[in-house]
Amino acid sequence: MTNLKDIGLYNLRNITRGAIRIEKNADLCYLSTVDWSLILDAVSNNYIVGNKPPKECGDLCPGTMEEKPLCEKTTINNEYNYRCWTTNRCQKMCPSACGKRACTENHECCHPECLGSCSAPDDDAACVACRHYYYAGVCVPSCPPNTYRFEGWRCVDRDFCANIPSAESSDSEGFVIHDGECMQECPSGFIRNGTQSMYCIPCEGPCPKVCEEEKKTKTIDSVTSAQMLQGCTIFKGNLLINIRRGNNIASELENFMGLIEVVTGYVKIRHSHALVSLSFLKNLRQILGEEQLEGNYSFYVLDNQNLQQLWDWDHRNLTIKAGKMYFAFNPKLCVSEIYRMEEVTGTKGRQSKGDINTRNNGERASCESDVLHFTSTTTSKNRIIVTWHRYRPPDYRDLISFTVYYKEAPFKNVTEYDGQDACGSNSWNMVDVDLPPNKDIEPGILLQGLKPWTQYAVYVKAVTLTMVENDHIRGAKSEILYIRTNASVPSIPLDVLSASNSSSQLIVKWNPPSLPNGNLSYYIVRWQRQPQDSYLYRHNYCSKDKIPIRKYADGTIDVEEVTENPKTEVCGGEKGPCCACPKTEAEKQAEKEEAEYRKVFENFLHNAIFVPRPERKRREVMQVANTTTSSRSRNTTVVDTYNITDPEELETEYPFFESRVDNKERTVISNLRPFTLYRIDIHSCNHEAEKLGCSASNFVFARTMPAEGADDIPGPVTWEPRPENSIFLKWPEPENPNGLILMYEIKYGSLVEDQRECVSRQDYRKYGGAKLNRLNPGNYTARIQATSLSGNGSWTDPVFFYVQAKTTYENFIHLIIALPVAVLLIVGGLVIMLYVFHRKRNNSRLGNGVLYASVNPEYFSAADVYVPDEWEVAREKITMSRELGQGSFGMVYEGVAKGVVKDEPETRVAIKTVNEAASMRERIEFLNEASVMKEFNCHHVVRLLGVVSQGQPTLVIMELMTRGDLKSYLRSLRPEMENNPVLAPPSLSKMIQMAGEIADGMAYLNANKFVHRDLAARNCMVAEDFTVKIGDFGMTRDIYETDYYRKGGKGLLPVRWMSPESLKDGVFTTHSDVWSFGVVLWEIATLAEQPYQGLSNEQVLRFVMEGGLLDKPDNCPDMLFELMRMCWQYNPKMRPSFLEIISSIKDEMEPGFREVSFYYSEENKPPEPEELDLEPENMESVPLDPSASSSSLPLPDRHSGHKAENGPGPGVLVLRASFDERQPYAHMNGGRKNERALPLPQSSTC
């Protein structure tokens, strides 16, 4: 197109398949300004040639001349430039956050099912085009039921498919429905089920599919033209193959033409330089020759420069019924290959000498080859060693090297040219082998990286220069050798599932391993009963204390935070702010109970999540198939005789039982206990299991169903009379209950009314029954019901008992005792009333005046005056050298101090000063703030070395951190920084080292009751040896003033580092420091990028309080991001302490950390363990689940897509979504997969 100036397809967003070809457009520009990689999945096959040179075009994108470019930049061939279609149309791009999704004109991400663009974000009905299918006005990933795929992009119903007119002829049978798709013809291997049927059935043997070309001759010059023959078995017409170029041509042609069996006309192959073999016509059996070329040729092969093989004649039977063959100008096709075809096809004698030219066929091929013989083969599970006889050509100098070819070959039918074409595609792997230096050594090769128990085809070819008569190349190659590698241990079974169909059986299903690495022979199934959680034995289910239900990670805000009243409380009669009231004894007791419960809860989580490794050797695990134990059972039937009510069960580790399963991927485990949790391990074993052992296990946890009547109390209920109008009831325990008996409920009463009494499991184990007190005289009935993990059992039969009335003598004694007590109570009450009246009358005589105090702001308290102490340093010992930077009170200098460090005559130090214009109050505040450092002595906290308070200016001597603050240091490591030292960005180990050093310093501050409140990278310092330390406090604010935000006229706040509770209520604790520590980790991972980029300080304030979290940084290791997520738990109490953080990463720290850290120091020795008070009446009655509050709704994270969670992040165990969505007591299941939630046993008396 000679006049085409530009393409101008400015709305083009996506080309789903294929490539582009733009050539011979003499005036076409704006080709180099289009980034085709944004439109195509691959650009390697693009062909852009013969257009106007870019240097002559002068392509300018919109706004470039005005220095206000409107288009975005991308990199193509190392050229970073603007992208546009024309001088006034930019190339449209979507934000990186959209990934592979399309976007709107306003750069909002479309629904994932949209392709190209959309008119509204995240709306599957607003798509310009659908990525998969279109149905009823919306884009869907797959067609709904009773609809069928049509033309690859939409869904239609049966009636629509039946009424589609055929494009071929009016008498066509119409479309068919097969495999969920409406198509014109049945696919290969299927045929219509009757003449007028719309459905396909499998063929008995090959299905005939006749294809016919209107012009009689079908030209195959590309993969696209070959697609028209896909599935054809009979082609009515002539085939003309002319393939000159392409990618992966051999496999594509085999895919589309490999089923052709009969060609009724002729086959002509000319100028097909991309073909090496005709094996892509793998099923061709007959060429009928009903129509022939001029000269009566029905098979014509002309000018194919790379054609080396016709077919593998050892496995091919081809017949040419009529016509002759013609071969010319095929330089790599040996004449012997042509003669072999004459014999197989039955055309020998039909051709003349001119039809098969021996001079221009095969003149560049090694047609006369010697045979190389393999001498030895050695195999292992992933290696093959082969050697062969040394080839000796007539002139040994012409032997250059050997080339070994190998590939996987499931069947022994491969040929040298399978999957090979002249454009670079080759299914064989090649290895060059140099000649051995010693002529007596046989050449060989070690093939590595192979798959176990896989058959490989191998052959070797000699590379020579020897010429024989007629100038034909002479070579040598071997026959194809088939070798199988040795077996290995299989991979684990896949998709293990288990379900219970009765109270004593578990059905287990799984899929075979993905890598059997041998002939899969059998499976080993092992199962072990799991002990009940120890807390179930200790908790009193008759009390009203909180039940030990797990805290689920449901992403809701903690209920305490939501329900808290933000208004300031009022003390006394005057309104206004007041100080915090001292805690009452009840509040202190509640805090103690909460701390104790937290310890119990954490122990429970660890016991439920982490299964201890059995103390056995690894060899025993891998050779589980070879072990035999007394509990081995071939029919998967084992009787479990342990009593669940045994108090020693807490220390019991139950044995594994084992069974062998042959030739199937399922089994039934029988004779199990009702409503009991089991762990089931599955091992794969192949035919070499006796030598190599079986695979590692894939396991699942499952619980049997409850048994009907298992919780019923057996035997009679008896009673014994007791003094004081009471009786004692006794009954036996259920013999084989559903899991564990939690409590008993007694329903008793006289003829008037019924009462209920709850008896905990602990009380029953202690007393063997229950005592009913304060009963009125009369006749009673009582019934008892047991409650287990699965629910309530049946009520027992009623037992009758009576309570005798007291005698007159007993009533008289009670009266004598009661009268004096009543008189004393009355007298005491009168005395108290008189005392209160007297106090009130005296107080009323005093005045009602209020005492006011006034303070002169020009004066300050004597307690605030700085008093020199042992930290004082003489001014003449300090020498300043150069400025380091501006601090919050004044300039900071580097200098030298004499005698401030023991055994060091001179020490390089940092010297902090106060501005000359500072007032006396500011100078004293400067000294007092520095005095905070006097209390600290930790390697990972910057040390104070001395103070010069006498004279002017006031100086504070600090440890010198030569590499500055951590924020500046991290930014200096960015590759684009001009002053970047020869230092690479920090590795994961270095990041963990920084994190551990910061956490150690913070742990020290926490141990000394110090809350930092401003932990950030700017407030951490880097020493000469790259050690990171907590910086001085409150002295770096002016340097990074933009990192702070003034809220409501108050002081500057580092909102981007503050926790939700600090932003909301102004509360700063060690928990809020842990949140800030997580943000510091994010800064380390991003080389000190600003947190929450793109959001203003006010937006960050709302975003964090609503539960938003920072995105995972690019290329951030999962281990580091998991540590961040643990620090960003919305509930402060769910965050780890700094000591717990160090404990989780201590194995990754450098060896020197143990010598200098606070964590390993004597100061950090844990106190003597306190005895836990686990009595039920001391447990707090606040529920664990915040979702119980109606206002605790999930908050969307508009910044990162995350939600604030009260639980660990991805990769850590996530408990369940919401307590309200589950039945209670799910904590008894251990949080394992394939578990069912348990019903809540609840006493009606609570």
- Positions annotated as catalytic residues are 1014
- Contact in structure between 1217 and 552 (CB atoms under 8 Å): yes
Distance CA 1141, CA 1126 (A): 9
Half-sphere exposure of 1093 (CA within 13 A, CB side): 8
List phi, psi (to 5°) of 765: -65, -30
Could you list the beta-strand ranges (E) of 670-814. 677-686, 698-703, 718-722, 726-730, 741-749, 754-760, 769-772, 778-788, 791-792, 799-803
Pairing of strands 267-270, 297-302: parallel
DSSP state, residue 1217: S
Where are the alpha helices (H) located in 610-758, listed in sequence order? Answer: 618-622, 689-692
User: 3-state DSSP call for residue 559?
Assistant: helix
User: 3-state DSSP call for residue 403?
Assistant: strand
H, E, C per residue of 1093-1135 = CCCCHHHHHHHHHCCCCCCCCCCCCHHHHHHHHHHCCCCHHHC
- Contact in structure between 737 and 786 (CB atoms under 8 Å): yes
Q: Give every CB contact of residue 71 below 8 A, 6+ residues apart in sequence.
A: 61, 62, 63, 82, 83, 84, 90, 91
User: 3-state DSSP call for residue 224?
Assistant: helix
- Output 871-874 pairs: Cβ under 8 A, ≥24 positions apart: 871/931, 871/934, 871/944, 871/946, 871/947, 872/946, 872/947, 872/948, 872/949, 872/950, 873/897, 873/899, 873/900, 873/945, 873/946, 873/947, 873/948, 873/955, 873/957, 874/948
In the chain, the largest separation of any two C-alpha atoms, in whole Å, equals 145
CA–chain centroid gap for 792, Å, is 41
List phi, psi (to 5°) of 356: -125, 95
Distance CA 362, CA 370 (A): 17
DSSP state, residue 440: T
DSSP state, residue 328: E
- Amino acid making up residue 398: D
**Helix 1118-1127, helix 1138-1145: angle, nearest 10:** 170
List the Cα angle 324/330/336 in 5-degree steps.
Answer: 70
User: 3-state DSSP call for residue 1039?
Assistant: coil
58 sits in the region (left: phi over 0; alpha: psi -120 to 50; else beta) called left
- Output 761-765 pairs: Cβ under 8 A, ≥24 positions apart: 761/537, 761/541, 762/538, 762/540, 763/542, 764/733, 765/647
Element (H, E) at 1156: helix 1153-1156
1012 sits in the region (left: phi over 0; alpha: psi -120 to 50; else beta) called alpha
Q: Give every CB contact of residue 782 below 8 A, 6+ residues apart in sequence.
A: 717, 719, 729, 746, 747, 748, 772, 798, 799, 801
DSSP codes of every residue in 455-510: EEEEEEEEEE--B-GGG-BEEEEEPPEEEEPPP-PPPPPEEEEEE-SSSS-EEEEE
Dihedral (C-alpha) 223, 225, 227, 230: value to the nearest 10 degrees?
A: -120
Cis peptide before 857 (omega within 30 of 0): no
Distance CA 998, CA 941 (A): 8
List phi, psi (to 5°) of 1140: -65, -35
